[in-house]
Amino acid sequence: MMARPKRAAPQRHLEWVMQAGGEVVRLSERSETAPRDFRTFFEDEHRRLFKTLYFVTGDDQEAADLMQEAFLKLWERWDRMDRIDDPVAYLFRTALNGNRMRLRAARRTAGRRLPIGSVRDGFDDVELREDVRQLLGALAPRQRAALVLLDLYGYGSEEAGRIMGIRPSTVRALASQGRAVLRTAGGPHG
């Protein structure tokens, strides 16, 4: 008696649906052989994949993009289908991995700090300049010069003393007196 060659068992696909609570429910069982061509496979699976991705992402555009990318990756490997055990599982896994990669990239991007440019109002600059001019106008000329050289231009007391033709200790004393006048007038050092 001759042994009969064994037939490959047809692949069985279970239709699953995810519910809002996160539980997965089996709806029905489909039994079919491996898809013959990509077009048939696409027509059979694109609605289920889209529904699943829409449920996962909550955005129909994002779901459509992920679905297209997953089908494209499968189409690129379609000639090697015999090496893929379950094309449906491969398709869904590819799509969900694509979603995870997008989420990781979004987290990385969100983690980077972007310099936010402030919008300056030209009138505020004019008002500030006028306030500074008025405050400095209330100082004696030598106090004003000492403050401008030390605080505005950042010179040390030695350099400011050479510029003004006075000792460094006198520059520091004049700057201190000028700051005291500004504090009483409600200026920035108050």
Domains parsed from the chain with CATH numbers: 12-108 (no CATH), 137-185 (1.10.10.10)
Helices 60-76 and 38-57: crossing angle, nearest 10°?
A: 140
Cβ atoms of 19 and 38 within 8 Å: the answer is no
- Give the residues across from 25 on adjacent strands: 17
pLDDT in tens, the chain (190 residues): 455 544 444 454 455 555 444 555 444 444 455 557 889 999 999 999 999 888 888 889 999 999 999 999 999 988 887 787 888 888 999 999 999 999 899 888 887 776 666 677 778 888 888 888 888 888 888 998 898 889 888 899 999 898 889 999 999 999 999 999 988 887 554 4
Neighbours of 138 (CB within 10 A): 14
Q: What is the DSSP string of 143-159?
A: HHHHHIIIIIS---HHH
End-to-end CA distance of the chain: 109
Q: Which residues lie closer than 8 Å to 67 by C-beta, 6 or more apart?
A: 46, 49, 50, 53, 95
Rounded distance between C-alpha atoms, residue 25 and residue 19, angstroms: 7
One-letter-per-residue 3-state SS of 111-139:
HCCCCCCCCCCHHHHHHHHHHHHHHHHCC
CB 41 within 8 A of CB 87: yes
